[in-house]
Amino acid sequence: MDFEQIYRFYFRDVFLYLCSLSASENIAEEMTRETFVNALKSIDQFDGEKDIRAWLFTIAKNTYYTFYKRQKIYADEEIFENISDVQMDFAEQFADEENAFLTHKFLHTMNEPYKEVFSLRVFGELPFEKIGALFGKSSGWARTTFYRAKKQIIEFMEVTEHEKN
């Protein structure tokens, strides 16, 4: 597979993963492009034994950290800067979007590796075996970490729902 095919095939996966980390589609798109530039520069270092998507996600994660160090921007600030003033037609739609927003905001406050394992599983759709391999751990470790992260999010949503009532 040549690099152009890799780009077309994996662009969406890398973009969604970076969206889950950055909370801004514009920044995620910029970082996705930068990820593929970095991947092209180091394609000769890819040994072919690992999954290429996992390799790209590792580059994307490093690009994310480098980007925020360089820009000195905090992810929470990005959330508030990019909220549009869209009027909600239905209170129910607002509640669903509000819950999604709060959940996403909570995800950014979670400790590593919970945040990253959850993002890789949900947004990157990686199997536990590949997530474990990214961290140099077993698939069981990845599965346990994912379910612990999921439990934290569920508990947060229950507390949030209780506070609303």
pTM: predicted TM-score of the whole model, two decimal places: 0.50
Distance CA 5, CA 3 (A): 5
Is 133 within 8 Å of 54 (Cβ atoms)? yes
The pLDDT profile of the chain, 165 residues, written as one tens digit per residue, is 678 888 889 999 888 888 888 767 888 888 899 999 988 888 878 777 778 888 898 898 888 888 877 665 444 444 444 433 333 332 333 345 666 677 778 888 888 899 889 888 887 888 888 898 888 889 889 999 998 988 888 888 888 777 776
CA-CA distance, 99 to 19, in Å (whole number)?
17
Q: List the domains of the chain with CATH numbers.
A: 1-77 (1.10.1740.10), 93-164 (1.10.10.10)
> 99, exposed or middle or buried, with CB in 10 Å at 0-12, 13-18, 19+?
middle
